Amino acid sequence: MKKAWLGFILGCTLSLQAHAGDRIMVQFTQLAAQHQLNPTLLTLLTEQKQAKGIAVYELSDDLSEHQKLALIQQLRLNPDVNWVERDQIVKGPQFIPNDSLIDFQIPWQSLIKLDQAWLQGIDCSPVVVSIIDSGLDLEHPDLVENIWLNEGEAPNSSVDMDSNGYIGDRHGWNPVSQNGSVADLFGHGTHVAGLIGAVGNNALGVAGSCWNVKLLPVKFLDRFGNGSISNAVQAIYYVMDIKKQFPAFKFIINNSWGAGASSAIDLAVSDATQAGIFVVNAAGNSGMDINLNLVYPAQTASKNLASLTIANADTTKDLDNLPLHSRSNYGDQVVSFAAPGTNILSTWPTALTTSSEQGYQFQDGTSMAAPIVSGIAAMLWSANPTLTPQGLRANLEATVQRIDSLKPKLKAPGLVDANQALNSVHYPFVALSHLQVEEGNYYIVGHKLDLVQSFMLNHQPLDITQVNSTRVSLGRLDQLRCGWLEAAAPNNNPGLYLDWSPAPPQIQTLTRSLDDEYVLSWQADEAVDRVEIVVTQADGSQYSLAQPTATQTATLNLLEGESVRIRGFSLCVDRHGQEVERASDFSATKSVGDIITPTWITLALGQVELGLPFQFKLQTQDADVLTLQSLGAGCQNDEVTLDQDGILQGIKSSPEDCNLSILAESSLSQLGRVQNLKLSGIESEQLWRTFVSTEADDRFLQNLTFKASTPLSMQLLKKQSRYGLFWQTDERLFEVELRALNRFSIVDLIWPESGESVAGLVNNGEYARFIVEAGSAGFDYQQDYQLDLLVNSASPEGVSSYSDTRCFIASHVYGDTKSDEVRLLRKVRDWMQNQWPGSSVLVNFYYKKSPVWVEWAKNNPTLSKPITGVVKIWLDSFVWLADWFEWETSSYNQPPLI
């Protein structure tokens, strides 16, 4: 058995003499003789002050154990030496409980001085530790005495007997099933509970950190160890409600779980600590620096002095050079210190273990380190109920066993020391939390700051203005990039350090283009070298985008229900002299969902005659503010203005294109929508004049005049209640856009008598195109051609894309509305309607029936699969024909759409 094997190893180890390194103490008959010994074998430790001629020597590492013993014997024969004694380790009084499996725990419990702390016999029953996890084995014999009992609820109650808003929460709560069912089907929660408060000295199993603390399980993880942030947040708020119901108890929350960045978790932990609850978090097991890679709720400890995050120390290794476990997360801005978390035995649900395991299992991870500290915190709070949660953290951080190898990784580099923390529980320890920036002024936030004797900023003394015990003003630090702050305070050894980063970037605007791309702009401090954009998707998952800070803008593809926030990174030198990258806090969040976004009606400006005034009325929907953001090179010398009524006017003095960027915003919106318009300057004989007038609900397009230097193609296109009139000639494209046309008709079509023309009107109710094509024979290229078109409109509606992107069945078959196959099939459709107007009846029937079939196919993928395959073969033949006939360069070439 594993237990017997470990017991054998322990027995062999404890039978050896325990020496304090390789030191010897020598008393000489005369002090001068101490300098006569061989300096290659013995090093005199001059800093050791001993009485009556005693000197302390360090034995050379090159000596074997046999040689060391021979050297000691030789010294004893020296006439100048009274005696020689080998230095030994002295252990204080210990209490080893009689729990049957304690031999598996004592190695790490003695390292953190739990065995010494137990001598004080602290009663932890006034403290409740809530285990937000996978539940608890309520019948486990090593836990049952300490499980929380709400006497206001009857066993297995299906009603809320104590009227606290939670049904049946006699021993805890399950936010997933909304009842008191907390049975542990995964095992993790029971293991955590045993490390906090398994009954000690009961001749059974293991001993927790505090033997009679109250254990309150809140179950949100299922049998596979999975849960949701929303249920975890419910669990935290449940503990707050129970604290209100039972104010006589102190409450601690143990979070041995982790998730990605979450504002919901951050807020819940903040609310819990403000309510007087102390929160202990596991750092996580990804082996990464969580200064930069956010893990919640661990990250809450970076700014919240009542929240503590713990790493996993591999206590199977040498204490003098103790490492963290290779999978333990770390970060000296987030993770305070370490506790044992490697090869840890604790309770396990009896139903999930074999008869040989008897309800106990070994586990590794920061999930084990955190509850050990939660139990120690319960002991401290019981010994001094006047402590605040902030005071608890300050005590635990100040009393750790310092380990130099952990300095770059932990805020208080070392291993928790239960005995030292308990002996110092009445000391007013100082703690530093973070640096806060308000209107350019910097403040140190912490605990008991009024006890600080001096502050050093990057090795330079600071003149400070005391505000109160939790905040100290540093004034304006304009040159501050990042670095560290050191505080000299009593009872803190060797001192307090605070690393910080620059202020977070501030999001200025989030705007949307006509292509439904979002443009994010921000303002960052000069100290920021790069920024990270984090997008939270509708399902709560996240992804990150790195962005050079110099750009100050980024184009994003966001969807409904998504949100975005950013943070900055700076390079600086930390307190250990190492160059590190520090991350700022996140900016405020900008959300996409449920926000009114202005829509542009005006999509193009066209061309104006050089030297003459121009005026355009810009139109949008849901916008009450239009702002001229930028002008391109072709407008810099022009007097271009945009008034509050949307009138854009000026004089075009250069033939260069002028690109105008206009932002439409709504007073009801957090988003704006940018439209980039192009204004070209032309000579008078090239001018295309467009006159649009309105009478009641009738709108006229009159005198659409152009030079027919090439054959002309014109179309009127409707998509989702939008119409656009497009024409192309001489490789130039111009557009006039109308809103919500219900019907239209040709009023007059004027062609020169010598010209050949074909005019046709296609209108199937959903899709309408008016096409005029001019033949080349007898065509008068110098004559103006005029088209008058009357349209009747009612109830103007919204605007979206002009492209007719339908073809429902083809899009379903090929899986993408923008695939090459679907594009070619649309060209076949358009060519058919152009050549045979009667085909519109067939097309209209297709658009009426095809969505129904596609919906059925999506809901019945198995049944529809054979039919989809046959349809694909049929459509493939059309695609092949379309490609073979090269529809791209055929006589019918649809004008490009803006």
- The pLDDT value recorded for residue 770 is 39
Residue (of 724, 798, 719, 711) closest to 757 by Cα position: 711
Distance from the first to the final alpha carbon of the chain: 77
Give yes or no for a contact between 689 and 784, defined as CB atoms under 8 angstroms apart. Answer: no
- The pLDDT value recorded for residue 7 is 25
Number of Cβ within a 10 Å radius of residue 42: 19
User: Residue 328 phi/psi, 5° resolution?
Assistant: -75, 135
- Does the pLDDT of residue 104 top 50, yes or no? yes
10-19, 77-86, 145-154, 429-438: which is most confident: 145-154
Specify the amino acid at residue 872.
Answer: K
- The pLDDT value recorded for residue 15 is 27
User: Residue 374 phi/psi, 5° resolution?
Assistant: -60, -40
Of 211-220, 313-322, 526-535, minimum mean pLDDT range: 313-322
- Does the pLDDT of residue 710 top 70, yes or no? no
Give yes or no for a contact between 220 and 188, defined as CB atoms under 8 angstroms apart. Answer: no
Specify the amino acid at residue 839.
Answer: S
- Does the pLDDT of residue 749 top 90, yes or no? no
Of 55-69, 272-286, 451-465, 799-813, minimum mean pLDDT range: 799-813
- Band the pLDDT of 141: cuts 50, 70, 90: very high
- Does the pLDDT of residue 740 top 70, yes or no? no
- The pLDDT value recorded for residue 716 is 42
Of 193-202, 369-378, 786-795, 836-845, minimum mean pLDDT range: 786-795
User: Residue 2 phi/psi, 5° resolution?
Assistant: -60, -40
- Band the pLDDT of 596: cuts 50, 70, 90: low
CA dihedral 420, 421, 424, 425 (to 10 degrees): -150
- The pLDDT value recorded for residue 636 is 64
- Band the pLDDT of 769: cuts 50, 70, 90: very low
246-260, 345-359, 440-454: which is most confident: 246-260
- The pLDDT value recorded for residue 767 is 33
- The pLDDT value recorded for residue 46 is 56
Q: Which residue has the higher pLDDT, 689 or 591?
A: 591
Give yes or no for a contact between 362 and 319, defined as CB atoms under 8 angstroms apart. Answer: no
Specify the amino acid at residue 416.
Answer: V
Mean pLDDT, rounded, for 827-848 = 62
User: Residue 7 phi/psi, 5° resolution?
Assistant: -60, -40
- Band the pLDDT of 677: cuts 50, 70, 90: confident
- Band the pLDDT of 428: cuts 50, 70, 90: confident
- The pLDDT value recorded for residue 712 is 39
- The pLDDT value recorded for residue 711 is 36
Specify the amino acid at residue 146.
Answer: N
What distance in Å separates the CA atoms of residue 567 and residue 454, rounded to the nearest whole number? 31
* Dihedral sign computed on CA atoms, order 823, 828, 834, 838: negative
Number of Cβ within a 10 Å radius of residue 802: 20
- The pLDDT value recorded for residue 623 is 83
What distance in Å separates the CA atoms of residue 789 and residue 200, rounded to the nearest whole number? 93
Residues present in the chain in total: 898
What distance in Å separates the CA atoms of residue 8 and residue 304, rounded to the nearest whole number? 45
Give yes or no for a contact between 329 and 283, defined as CB atoms under 8 angstroms apart. Answer: yes
- The pLDDT value recorded for residue 368 is 96
Average pLDDT of every residue of the chain:
76
Mean pLDDT, rounded, for 316-325 = 80
CB neighbour burial string for 246-260, b if at least 16 within 10 angstroms, e if fewer: beeebbbbbbbbbbb
Three-state secondary structure call for residue 821: helix
Q: Which residues contact 47 (CB under 8 A, 6 or more apart)?
A: none
Token digits of residue 486: 């050191």
Token digits of residue 890: 């055929």
Mean pLDDT, rounded, for 563-578 = 82
Give yes or no for a contact between 176 and 183, defined as CB atoms under 8 angstroms apart. Answer: no
Q: Which residues pair with 11 in a beta bridge?
A: none
- Band the pLDDT of 133: cuts 50, 70, 90: very high
Give yes or no for a contact between 112 and 156, defined as CB atoms under 8 angstroms apart. Answer: no
pLDDT tens column, 143-163: 999 999 999 999 888 889 999
What distance in Å separates the CA atoms of residue 509 and residue 519, rounded to the nearest whole number? 8
- Does the pLDDT of residue 288 top 90, yes or no? yes
* CB-count exposure of residue 155 (10 Å: 0-12, 13-18, 19+): exposed
- Does the pLDDT of residue 456 top 70, yes or no? yes
Number of Cβ within a 10 Å radius of residue 795: 9
Mean pLDDT, rounded, for 792-799 = 30
Residue (of 615, 656, 662, 616) closest to 637 by Cα position: 656
Residue (of 292, 267, 293, 265) closest to 281 by Cα position: 265
- How far is residue 225 CA from its own chain's centroid? 21
- Does the pLDDT of residue 728 top 50, yes or no? no
- Does the pLDDT of residue 870 top 50, yes or no? yes
pLDDT tens column, 346-361: 999 998 887 667 899 9
* Dihedral sign computed on CA atoms, order 4, 6, 7, 11: positive
Percent of the chain with pLDDT over 90: 31
What distance in Å separates the CA atoms of residue 835 and residue 890, rounded to the nearest whole number? 12
- Band the pLDDT of 166: cuts 50, 70, 90: very high
* Dihedral sign computed on CA atoms, order 395, 399, 403, 407: positive
- The pLDDT value recorded for residue 33 is 63
- The pLDDT value recorded for residue 244 is 96
CA geometry: angle at 423 spanning 114 and 404, to 5°?
A: 70
Q: With residue 73 as reference, give the H or E element that holds it.
A: helix 65-76
Q: Which residue has the higher pLDDT, 651 or 858?
A: 651
Give yes or no for a contact between 446 and 401, defined as CB atoms under 8 angstroms apart. Answer: no
What distance in Å separates the CA atoms of residue 773 and residue 371, rounded to the nearest whole number? 81
Mean pLDDT, rounded, for 836-865 = 69
Mean pLDDT, rounded, for 857-863 = 77
Q: Which residue has the tokens 């010494």?
A: 116
Q: Which residues contact 730 (CB under 8 A, 6 or more apart)?
A: 707, 709, 710
CA distances from 25 to 31, 355, 425 (A): 13, 53, 36
- The pLDDT value recorded for residue 697 is 32
Mean pLDDT, rounded, for 557-585 = 82
What distance in Å separates the CA atoms of residue 158 and residue 177, rounded to the nearest whole number? 12
Q: Which residue has the higher pLDDT, 426 or 94?
A: 426
What distance in Å separates the CA atoms of residue 366 and residue 525, rounded to the nearest whole number? 36
Q: Which residue has the higher pLDDT, 270 or 750?
A: 270
pLDDT tens column, 484-539: 788 888 766 556 777 777 778 888 878 776 667 788 888 887 778 888 898 888 87
Number of Cβ within a 10 Å radius of residue 143: 24
DSSP code for 626: E
Q: With residue 370 as reference, give the H or E element that holds it.
A: helix 366-383
Three-state secondary structure call for residue 83: strand
* CB-count exposure of residue 629 (10 Å: 0-12, 13-18, 19+): middle
What distance in Å separates the CA atoms of residue 200 and residue 210, rounded to the nearest whole number? 8
- Does the pLDDT of residue 293 top 60, yes or no? yes
pLDDT tens column, 17-38: 344 557 888 888 776 666 667 6
